[in-house]
């Protein structure tokens, strides 16, 4: 097991302003059709993509076949993510890191929180 935080790897601080995907899910972010925006309106899409890319690089370097990620997160959500309105509502979808890992053949499962 190798613990990582895509958002920190992407350059975001701890603690950080909550962020959600607006206009789709992680696959849409990777395709340039959606953005990740934090609660005060700052576009953090670049940091989320960078973090996802770093996680993929690490996964490939250790030949990981599976990843266990945290549900609902705009990075790690696997099946359910926040809807982008900061109203504590959810939609079906995946986070940016989940989408990138799956696109590259890594099986993703989630921890419900």
The pTM (predicted TM-score) of the whole model is 0.96
Quote the CA–CA distance of 1 and 80 in Å, as a whole number: 23
Instruction: Write out the chain's pLDDT in tens, 113 residues.
Output: 778 999 999 999 999 999 999 999 999 999 999 999 999 999 999 999 999 999 999 999 999 999 999 899 999 999 999 999 999 999 999 999 999 999 999 999 988 76
Quote the CA–CA distance of 29 and 87 in Å, as a whole number: 20
pLDDT of 111 reads 80
User: Residue 19 corresponds to which tokens in the numbers above?
Assistant: 């962020």
């Amino acid at each position: 097991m190798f613990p990582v935080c895509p958002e920190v790897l992407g350059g975001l601080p701890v603690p950080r302003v909550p962020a959600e995907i607006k206009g789709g899910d992680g696959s849409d972010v990777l395709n340039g059709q959606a953005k990740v925006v934090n609660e005060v309106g700052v576009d953090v899409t670049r940091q989320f993509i960078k973090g996802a890319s770093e996680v993929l690089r690490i996964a490939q370097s250790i030949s990981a076949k599976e990843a266990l990620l945290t549900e609902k997160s705009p990075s790690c959500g696997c099946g359910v993510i926040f809807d982008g309105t900061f109203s504590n509502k959810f939609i079906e979808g995946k986070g940016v890191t989940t989408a990138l890992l799956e696109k590259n053949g890594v099986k993703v499962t989630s921890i419900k929180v």
